[in-house]
Chain A
Amino acid sequence: GQQLNQSPQSMFIQEGEDVSMNCTSSSIFNTWLWYKQDPGEGPVLLIALYKAGELTSNGRLTAQFGITRKDSFLNISASIPSDVGIYFCAGRNSGTYKYIFGTGTRLKVLA
């Protein structure tokens, strides 16, 4: 099925560093969601974005809805070991109910 492109696919970072990841689509979306998935668990919603250009924070996490409406970005500041996991973006177009999910970014934090 259709998927969004996320990058990077994986990254190792040092504790305390900032992290950036992005998600791109060939289609225009009107909603972007960012999730984190820990091993053996379902994805947990981190941030929801509803308007082009919107910048929303949740603690150390900040996400942006790209101006073109074809991309979104997630930043994590001052990473800590519990940030380890897989981060997924999901997008949905106006008038549809189905969210399309990205391929995921696997984050590993080195203490």
Chain B
Amino acid sequence: GAGVSQSPSNKVTEKGKDVELRCDPISGHTALYWYRQSLGQGLEFLIYFQGNSAPDKSGLPSDRFSAERTGGSVSTLTIQRTQQEDSAVYLCASSFSRTDRLFFGSGTQLSVL
């Protein structure tokens, strides 16, 4: 696609429920990143994909967080048993290669009540 697409743009959920966030990277971009941005804060790295592999998952806050990427394209970030502290904007970015510039989607605003 023309840009990185994320869905949904907003998600409100109840504490304890699972959520799935989707990212469609720019066509042809092999590298895909997930970042988290809490209110008024900078960007916190979560996970990096090169193709379908995730060589670095070091930023995932807990084992409730997982992500996968299929077909070298779409990625899904899953948060199980959501907690209020999970509330944040989840941003996806892609790049042509692991050393290229990052291009971001508009993010998913997650609110856990």
Contacts and interface: CB of A to CB of B under 8 A. Distances in A.
A3 interface: yes
**How big is chain A's contact interface, by range?**
20 to 34
A105 B28 CA distance: 32
B68 interface: no
Interface stretch (A11-19, A57-65, A73-81, A95-103): A95-103
Interface of A: 1, 3, 31, 33, 35, 40-45, 48, 88, 90, 92, 97-104
B48 A1 contact: no
Interface of B: 4, 6, 31, 33, 35, 41-45, 48, 50, 56, 59, 91, 93, 98-99, 101-107, 109
B31 A97 contact: yes
B42 A104 contact: yes
Given A33-B101, A97-B31, A42 B45 contact: no
Q: Top 3 A-B pairs ranked by shortest CB distance? A: A42-B104, A97-B98, A101-B43
